[in-house]
Amino acid sequence: MGNGAEDADLPVGSSPPPPLEWKFSQVFGERAAGEEVQEVDIISAIEFDKSGDHLATGDRGGRVVLFERTDVRNLGSRKDLEAQDYPISRHPEFRYKTEFQSHEPEFDYLKSLEIEEKINKIKWCQAANHVLFLLSTNDKTIKYWKVQEKKVKKISEMNVDASQAVQNDNIASSSTIGPRGYLPNGGCPERPHDHLNNDLPMPPGGFPSLRLPVVTSQETSLIARCRRTYAHAHDYHINSISNNSDGETFISADDLRINLWNLEISNQSFNIVDVKPANMEDLTEVITSAEFHPTHCNMLAYSSSKGSIRLIDLRQSALCDNHSKIFEEHEAPGSRSFFTEIIASISDVKFAKDGRHILSRDYMTLKLWDINMESGPVATFQVHEYLRPKLCDLYENDSIFDKFDCCLSGDGLHVATGSYSNLFRVFGCIPGSNEATTLEASKNPMRRQVQTPSRPAKSLGSLARVVRRGAESPGVEANGNSYDFTTKLLHLAWHPTESSIACAAMNSLYMYSA
């Protein structure tokens, strides 16, 4: 939460702010009804940069597509507009910028394994001098990309004015000398000195219009160049990468290890977390996601398939076998079933901008944790509770293993995550708020909206735990149809400074503003 749970407390007697009203903003790559989607076009990663002026998506075909914000850029810098009291558009607008092929399919001959080109994660690095830098990764290889504008130089003015050329349509031929020998001083033999050639007589006093060719660079083209490739450091599939706040290092995590890299050094990394047991038969949990603290360069959090989040401090030891804090919610006695561990597995963790809170997503819920309170989450938001009776079917069709992203708003007052039938949910985090909005990734996001009965706002202490349910009716979606498990909204990102969400529905990128 932006200012921390304690700061988010409302004055006594005041009501929480009204829920955000979401409106469709833009769509890129919208598909027509009945159009078949190619597997390679399905979006697999979304990320805003720190300023919110650029957005990157990665797809299963190994491509990275960049979008840039236009509504602020066209009017001047944000600082100038604020100085002039100019009303800044509250709805960010983006346009396509460029795309490049980040990864290609490979084959690991040592293990006889195909390495697919699908982009698992994208992270923006610090920009410099209008040059963009970003990291992208597939299952095995991380690449560091530099994207910059290059000006295309063209000759706009030749050295002879076309209007001055006498009875000649071809300037190129008129200003060149035929294939004869040249004299040492640049003259031409067997030719009168007052003629350059037969086509262009030399006027008395020379050419008044002769001038140097002018080179201009009007067009710009974007060029993406791979500066570094970080390979051969992971035996298992990379599930996350995260930049450090120091701007020099980043981590990459697979199922059993987390490695620390320096951006400038691609041939070595340091293994900082290793959960691989001596005997693989003793393996009980794997790493599912990892992220650096937004401001403390020595702290990072990683989640596990058992539903726990560990906070580690890099200052403690070179190999961080021991965590400094662990966050986990213990199950109620007697509630254990075959599916308990599967649905407890955390698919994504995100730090709030202030670094005080961590948001985690498991199959059923979103949980908000205070890093100063290990005993349990400060808030739990029910996302898939209505699917509990269907866990057997979900296990049969593998949907129970779907990994949904989660995200926080820049002010930390809202959280969001995806669901099935191309739906996503937005919850309010402020104590006393009942905000739980269900939206569809389409041009009419409120089409499947259900009004949740308004409950009296409870007076919550700063660390009171709250459980909030989404707008849902058990077993069926808002319009009465059964849920479609083939259309899932796995990836979404919240704009760092404004109430704007970008989400991926198959190959389409939808953007919404509130």
Residue 459 lies inside a defined structural domain of this protein: no
Residue 179: pLDDT over 50? no
Encoded tokens for 373: 């309170």
Query: Could you give the number of structural domains in the chain?
Result: 1
Encoded tokens for 285: 């949990």
Rounded CA separation 234/266 (Å): 13
Quickly state the pLDDT bin for 58 (edges 50, 70, 90): very high
Residue 20 lies inside a defined structural domain of this protein: no
Q: Tell me the longest C-alpha to C-alpha distance in the chain.
A: 110
Q: What angle (nearest 5°) sits at the alpha carbon of residue 404, between those of residues 496 and 509?
A: 60
Encoded tokens for 38: 């190619």
Residue 416: pLDDT over 80? yes
Residue 183 lies inside a defined structural domain of this protein: no
Q: What is the DSSP letter of 476?
A: B
Per-residue pLDDT, 80: 59
Task: Give the chain's length.
Answer: 514
For residue 401, the enclosing domain spans 26-75+89-156+214-449+483-513
- Looking at residue 344, which CATH number applies to its domain? 2.130.10.10
Per-residue pLDDT, 449: 55
**Percent of the chain residues past pLDDT 90, beyond the cut:** 52
Quickly state the pLDDT bin for 128 (edges 50, 70, 90): confident
Per-residue pLDDT, 383: 94
CA 208 to chain centroid: 59
Encoded tokens for 261: 């890299």
Rounded CA separation 436/450 (Å): 10
Do 160 and 173 touch, CB atoms closer than 8 A?
no
Of residues 351 and 188, the one with the higher pLDDT is 351
Quickly state the pLDDT bin for 443 (edges 50, 70, 90): confident
Instruction: Name the least confident of 75-89, 105-119, 152-166, 271-285.
Output: 75-89
Residue 461: pLDDT over 60? no
Of residues 373 and 212, the one with the higher pLDDT is 373
pLDDT in tens, 212-254: 777 777 777 889 999 999 999 999 999 999 999 999 999 999 9
Per-residue pLDDT, 249: 95
Residue 43: pLDDT over 90? yes
**Percent of the chain residues past pLDDT 70, beyond the cut:** 75
The dihedral formed by the CA atoms of 405, 354, 344 and 258, expressed in degrees to the nearest 10: 80
Do 355 and 292 touch, CB atoms closer than 8 A?
no
The order of strands in the sheet holding 94-101 is: 43-48, 54-59, 63-69, 94-101
Q: Collapsing DSSP states into helix, strand and coil, what is residue 174? A: helix
What average pLDDT does the structure give for the chain? Answer: 81
Q: What is the DSSP letter of 489?
A: -
Residue 91: pLDDT over 70? yes
Q: Collapsing DSSP states into helix, strand and coil, what is residue 308? A: coil
Per-residue pLDDT, 333: 72
Rounded CA separation 78/497 (Å): 12
Of residues 377 and 217, the one with the higher pLDDT is 377
Encoded tokens for 167: 């009875």
In sequence order, what are the residues at sequence separation of 6 or more whose Cβ sits closer than 8 angstroms to the Cβ of residue 225? Answer: 145, 146, 147, 148
Do 462 and 477 touch, CB atoms closer than 8 A?
no
Nearest to 133 by CA among 246, 257, 50, 240: 50
3-class DSSP string for 236-249? CCCCEEEECCCCCE
CA-based Rg of the chain, rounded to a whole angstrom?
30
Q: What is the mean pLDDT of residues 352-371?
A: 94
**How far, in Å, are 6, 112, 136, 437 from residue 327 at the CA level?**
19, 39, 29, 27
Rounded CA separation 377/358 (Å): 9
Rounded CA separation 503/418 (Å): 8
